[in-house]
């Protein structure tokens, strides 16, 4: 019993000494917080842009594969080109919105 108490006291003492000797950062300066928030915002923008592009590629491939059996018909080819063009345009608009909206918001702050 005595040995167990001494072991616990030793462990608590070493832990307290370790905690007191190593400097811990309890606060962050405003520039650090701002830079981390900016970095997180850029990461989210990149992730959203990547998701929009991946979804656009999948939709365009699905349209092309779906219309593949009737690729000999010129009217069908024209419809495929129009559909894929619309998808590419929407992807460009979606990706631009992800970057333009925060920029416009920052103009009015």
pLDDT tens, residue by residue, 8-52: 777 877 777 676 666 655 666 777 888 888 888 889 999 999 999
Residues 88, 56: Cα–Cα separation, whole Å? 7
Give the pLDDT band of residue 92 (cuts 50, 70, 90): very high
Residue 66, token pair as written in the block: 């779906």
Q: What is the pLDDT of residues 70-82, one digit of tens each?
A: 778 888 888 989 9
Residues 51, 66: Cα–Cα separation, whole Å? 22
Asked whether the beta carbons of 85 and 64 are under 8 A apart, the reply is no
Asked whether the beta carbons of 83 and 63 are under 8 A apart, the reply is yes
Asked whether the beta carbons of 91 and 74 are under 8 A apart, the reply is no
């Amino acid at each position: 019993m005595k040995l167990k108490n001494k072991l616990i006291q030793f462990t608590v003492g070493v832990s307290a000494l370790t905690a007191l000797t190593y400097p811990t950062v309890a606060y962050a300066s405003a520039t650090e917080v701002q830079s981390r928030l900016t970095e997180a915002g850029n990461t989210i923008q990149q992730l959203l842009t990547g998701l929009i592009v991946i979804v656009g590629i999948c939709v365009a491939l699905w349209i092309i594969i779906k219309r593949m059996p009737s690729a000999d018909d010129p009217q069908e080819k024209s419809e495929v080109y129009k559909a894929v063009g619309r998808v590419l345009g929407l992807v460009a608009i979606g990706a631009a919105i992800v970057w333009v909206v925060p920029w416009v918001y920052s103009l009015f702050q």
